[in-house]
Amino acid sequence: MHLRGLVIFLAAVAFTISADPTPKVVSGSSVKWNRGSERFVIRATNAPLISILREVSQQTGWEILTIQKMNERISVSINNEKSVDALKILLDGYAYTLLPNNGKRTRLTLYKNNISEAIFLLEPTPATSKIISNELVVVLKPGTDPDAIAGQIKAKVIGKIPRMGAYRFQFEDAIDAIAAKAILENLAAVTTIDSVYQISRPDDGDFIGQFGVPPFQLKVPLAGATSGLLVALIDTAIQSSAISFPDFLQPSVFIAGQPDLPNDRPTHGTVMAETLLRGISQANAGAAASQIRILPIDVYGNQERTTSFDIADGIYQAIAAKAQIINLSLGSPSESKLVHNLIKTGTQNGIVFIASAGNEPTTTPNYPAAHSEVYAVTASDSKGNLAYYANRGDFVDLIAPGVSPIRFYGKPFVSVGTSASAAYVSGQIAGLSVLSGKKPQQVGSSMVNIIGFRPPTKR
């Protein structure tokens, strides 16, 4: 029996075993927490309350204690409500408290009659990557015809980085992809086979009303300057007309197509660009700051998710443009071989990679930050301590402020998370490098040695 036939046969057997004539009620839920405004968007249809609470814990960093038996299924629609109001709707029928826990993590305690009933500590929902099941990334040896390979495995080539020999193959379905992988593993022309992962789009800046945004000053580059230290910002698109010092910007590179940009809020990329500039300013580089340029590389376009392949393409474009620092304020719990190989190549050529550690109060590795070649940055709170929501794994190298306020066409917005922390560090390394005349790798290494992050011994 051919491999494809075997996969279809096994799938049919599994379906036959699990088939149930009883109609199922369609259920599901989604939770969205905005750290800046502390608001929830929750949608649930016949969903287990305990699953929703696990997701709340994962996104907010709250410690949640409940009664041991929680079997309710709920249907609810909560639209951008403050925490206190969202919890009233979500926890109808429960008594609860929401209090700081010894000044560290916020604790949500649920009970029916007496708080002593709350003895069960919920574990957060583990972060997972979404694999595009009908796609593969294949790296071919030089001189190999990708179209010939595609024809052999019944695939379409939908993406390519030719100088790396990397190609993104799409198949009719997941079964074809599984069958093709078995064939590719035995081809001498193939060096690497990898899955394609989806990475969610980071949140745009959040409006914060009447809030002071500290100004900062920079010595801007000469108009049209093309030399100096180049920092690549791999992110969502930026709104260049809203940037405080637009002369630092090089023309944007669009990996996933030209995006439609909002005019009522700053994109994540815009906030990161402003944060990077503030980091340069805080390095007190003075006139030397004029030697720095920023290359925005948009890997999202209009999409809600990017892919590991597009991020790899973005890194490749940054390397080709001779970037010396590459900022990646994004991440995934899954490791892409293609992305890692590019990072290793870049590091060997003196490039510094800086990435956000992740906005989950766990020790779970977040990639690309968890690669040993990358400076992983977590977030600090207003007192310089580890922020309640921030990843504190042993792969983390540095800690920096997790709150970045900016002005967007005169209005105050903020981004909260390790994304901002990474951008601060990228700016500081760039500023200190041009000020001292040292290579960014030397500056980064010194920062880790002097002010490196030390994971707490207790959560």
Supply the CATH number for residue 187's domain: 3.30.70.80
User: From residue 457, how far is each of 111, 167, 368, 392 by CA, in Å?
Assistant: 30, 44, 24, 10
CATH of the domain at 242: 3.40.50.200
Q: Do 110 and 157 share a structural domain?
A: no
Q: Please indicate, yes or no, if residue 17 is contained in any of the structural domains.
A: no
| pLDDT of 101 strictly over 80 | no
The answer on pLDDT for 455 being more than 50 is yes
Residue 164's nearest CA partner among 193, 141, 195 is: 141
For residue 393, give Cα distances in angstroms to 199, 327, 358, 454: 20, 20, 10, 9
Measured CA to CA, the distance from residue 265 to residue 234 in angstroms comes to 19
112 and 243 assigned to the same domain: no
Structure confidence at residue 354 (pLDDT):
98
pLDDT bin (cut points 50, 70, 90) of residue 307 is very high
Q: What are the backbone dihedrals phi and psi of residue 406, each rounded to the nearest 5 degrees, phi first?
A: -140, 165
> Does residue 303 sit in the same domain as residue 415?
yes
The answer to whether residue 14 sits within a structural domain is no
* Confidence (pLDDT) at 54: 86
Helix (H) / strand (E) element for 222: namely none
pLDDT at 208: 81
Distance CA 213, CA 410 (A): 10
Residue 181 lies in a domain: yes
Q: What is the mean pLDDT of residues 121-146?
A: 86
C-beta separation of 393 from 362 below 8 A: yes
pLDDT of amino acid 289: 94
Separation between Cα atoms, residue 309 and residue 249, nearest integer Å: 25
At 113, give phi and psi (nearest 5°).
-120, -40
pLDDT at site 152: 94
In a 3-state reduction of DSSP, which class is residue 458? coil
CATH code, 106: 3.55.50.30
Q: Are residues 137 and 215 both part of a single domain?
A: no
Residue 132 clears pLDDT 60, i.e. is over it: yes
Q: What is the rounded average pLDDT of the residues 331-354?
A: 96
Range of the domain at 43: 28-121
What are 13-68's pLDDT values in tens digits? 233 333 333 433 445 788 888 877 888 999 989 888 988 998 898 788 888 989 87
377, 398 Cβ separation under 8 angstroms: yes
Query: 412 and 275 share a domain?
Result: yes
Does residue 458 lie in a domain region? no
258 and 373, same structural domain?
Answer: yes
Task: Tell me: do 244 and 324 sit in the same domain.
Answer: yes
Tell me: pLDDT of 316 over 70.
yes
- Its pTM stands at 0.81
Q: Are residues 346 and 429 in the same domain?
A: yes
For residues 229 and 270, membership in a common domain is answered with yes
11 within some domain: no
pLDDT at 390 > cutoff 70:
yes
Q: Is the pLDDT of residue 424 over 50?
A: yes
Average pLDDT score over residue span 362-381: 94
In a domain, 43, yes or no: yes
- 235 and 111 in a single domain? The answer is no
Q: H or E segment at 122?
A: none
Which residue in the block uniquely carries the two structure tokens 């992305």?
Answer: 339
Name the DSSP class of 309: H
pLDDT of residue 439: 97
Domain check: are 110 and 161 in the same one? no
Residue with tokens 């993406």: 159
DSSP E strand stretches across 8-52? 28-34, 39-48
The residue out of 103, 121, 139 marking a domain boundary is 121
Q: Flag whether 184 is in a domain.
A: yes
**Tens-digit pLDDT profile for residues 219-267:** 988 766 667 899 999 999 999 999 999 999 999 999 999 999 999 999 9
d(C-alpha 297, C-alpha 144), whole Å: 29
Are 287 and 138 members of one domain?
no
Domain presence at residue 378: yes
Number of domains in the chain: 3
